[in-house]
Amino acid sequence: MNPVIGGLVACAVAVVLTPVAIRVALRTGIVDRPGALKVQRRPVAYLGGVAVFGGLAAALALGSGSARLLVPLGLALALGLADDLADLDPRLRLACEAFIGLVAGLVAPAGSGWFGTAVTAVAVVGLLNALNLLDGLDGLASGVATVAAFGFALLGPGPRPLALGLAGALCGFLVFNRPPARIYLGDAGAYLVGTALALSCATALDANGAITTWAALPLLVAVPVTDTAVAILRRRRAGAPLFAGDRSHVYDQLVDRGRSRPEAVLVMVVAQAVLATAGVLVAHLPTAAGVSVAVLSAGILTALVGRGGFLTPAKESS
């Protein structure tokens, strides 16, 4: 089936399933309640990841040779749902993430041999957590991931069925997740979307392992990766626990500096769109030119983060 048709199917399924997920979540109490690190004023339904999975599964099931990807995607959804319901011990969660990464590496290695399996596994664990950390404002993680997914679709036919299926499902979900959100991805959705982006990386590399593809991929997921790095470095400089929640993320700092929450989301999504465009350009340029554009883009991003004061702990910036 044409991947574009798959994306449209995914969107339609997500639009239908998301209101159902909202009703089920509210009736069963699977909601995100206001708190110290929660910016909403009322409980908001979780289970958005279930609706996204339904749309993505429909697209992949109709595609040729892509249904195997539903195995690690389903495992990621299940782990996130368990975390939403029971707040799993971090050590147990990390062990489960590593297992999911291994399964993903066996199902969709980023190239041949053990190295390809390892690359996929590392990408899954890293992006699964990065998307979860990014999911802090209405429409943020889903908006950024949608842009990234469209970028992956433009790399070539290898990642296109998964990427367009993910983009379509997220577009349907965003109808209800845009500010003010009626439903959140939850851990289930964040883990699912992060795993889908990691598998997009793997399928892109498996189809074309050129140096320019390697150089392009970090740009396609630059916003979640950069936001996670900023949060970790800022906590380290402040002497705070690395795995404790706080308001050290880039989007939090944008709000603290006077941006409204929708404006902060827009800034992050536009930034990912610019970086994804650069990534697609890198992938289609000759090696020397592509690597040069990638290095220049990474350098500009690093300079903006550093000179913008995003790495300064709150107690130093006050």
> What ranges do the domains of the chain cover?
3-317
Confidence of residue 222 (pLDDT cuts 50, 70, 90): very high
pLDDT at 58 > cutoff 90? yes
Average pLDDT of 92-105? Answer: 97
Q: Taking the CB of residue 65, how many other CB atoms lie within 10 A of it?
A: 8
| 149-202 residue pLDDT tens | 999 999 999 999 999 999 999 999 999 999 899 999 999 999 999 999 999 999
The pLDDT of residue 66: 82
Angle between helices 3-28 and 48-62 (to 10 degrees): 150
* Mean residue pLDDT across the chain: 92
Banded model confidence at residue 248, pLDDT cuts 50, 70, 90: confident
Q: What's the alpha-carbon Rg for the chain, to the nearest Å? A: 18
Residue 240: is its pLDDT beyond 90?
A: no
On whether the CB atoms of residues 176 and 183 are closer than 8 A, the answer is yes
Produce one character per residue of 248-267: b if its CB has 16 or more CB atoms within 10 Å, e if not: bbbbbbbbeeeeebeebbbe
Mean pLDDT of 119-130: 97
> What's the pLDDT band for 1 if we cut at 50, 70, 90?
confident
Q: 38-54 burial by CB neighbour count: b if 16+ within 10 A, else e?
A: eebeeebbbbbbbbbbb
Q: Which of 40, 22, 35, 37 is nearest to 261 (CA)?
A: 40
Angle subtended at Cα 282 by Cα 277 and Cα 287, rounded to the nearest 5 degrees:
175
- pLDDT band at residue 237 under the 50/70/90 scheme: confident
Point out the least confidently predicted range of 85-94, 120-129, 217-226, 283-292. Answer: 85-94
Max CA distance (Å), the chain = 56
130 membership: H or E segment, kind and range: helix 113-134
Whether 124 and 199 have beta carbons less than 8 Å apart is answered as yes
On whether the CB atoms of residues 125 and 187 are closer than 8 A, the answer is: no
What does residue 240 show for φ and ψ, rounded to 5 degrees?
A: -90, 155
Rounded to whole angstroms, the Cα distance separating 240 from 87 reads 21
- Confidence check: pLDDT of 278 > 70: yes
SS3 45: strand
